[in-house]
Structure 1
């Protein structure tokens, strides 16, 4: 892998455009041979739940469910902010493939060698 890349996403159905574009960029990163990570926090944590993204489809883009699945299938990782997840009462037994609930220290560790990132 030629470096790392982080996409931080704080949106879900409250801004489906940002949620979609975040995963478009994440897919571009993993396709560019980056060790790519999507960090879901705040409302973005809802995307970690099976079925939640099923009806999100912004015009001009692939459906969000497909973008997420393609990202994971290509080797991308999804970190889910533990405090944000717990605050929303989400279900650990209903996580999408590739999602891991983590504390902030895991994100810091991933980025510690200067990984660039973008936030949505």
Structure 2
């Protein structure tokens, strides 16, 4: 096993349940010692913008912003799809602290190292 895990998040306020569960799983992965990357893409790219996740709170779960902060504090890696972020009108100064803008090649490289992946 590679010890690498990628969570692809394609949802934000369009499906807050999926966005929240994605970070619950990502937190479980990083807590279990996996090198864990969350890749925010398609609608999920909105989560990479400052302040966007502040009001997302699914019943039965911690608030999404809290889950995201916990993930980063635990050493999780947060990537956002470059064209997805730009398509939604964001600039680099809008980027959430701790997030990194990457292209598809970076994701392919990580997956080619044997990372397991799941998509929400």
User: TM-score, normalization: structure 1?
Assistant: 0.96
Instruction: Tell me the equivalent position of 1:45.
Output: 45
1:7 matched to 2:23: no
1-structure distance, mates of 2:83, 2:44: 12
* RMSD, matched Cα: 0.9
Deviations 1:11-64, CA, capped at 9 Å, x for gaps: 000000000000000000000000000001001000001110000000000000
User: TM-score, normalization: structure 2?
Assistant: 0.96
Alignment map for 1:1-120 (pairs within 5 Å): 3-120=3-120
Deviations 1:75-103, CA, capped at 9 Å, x for gaps: 00111001111111113102112210110
Name the count of aligned residue pairs: 119
Q: Is 1:40–1:80's contact at 8 Å kept on the other side of the alignment?
A: yes
Corresponding residue SS for 1:53: helix
2-structure distance, mates of 1:113, 1:81: 19
Structure 1 runs of 4+ aligned residues shifted over 4 Å read none
Task: Give the number of the structure whose residues are more often helix, by fraction.
Answer: 2
Alignment gaps of 5+ in structure 2? none
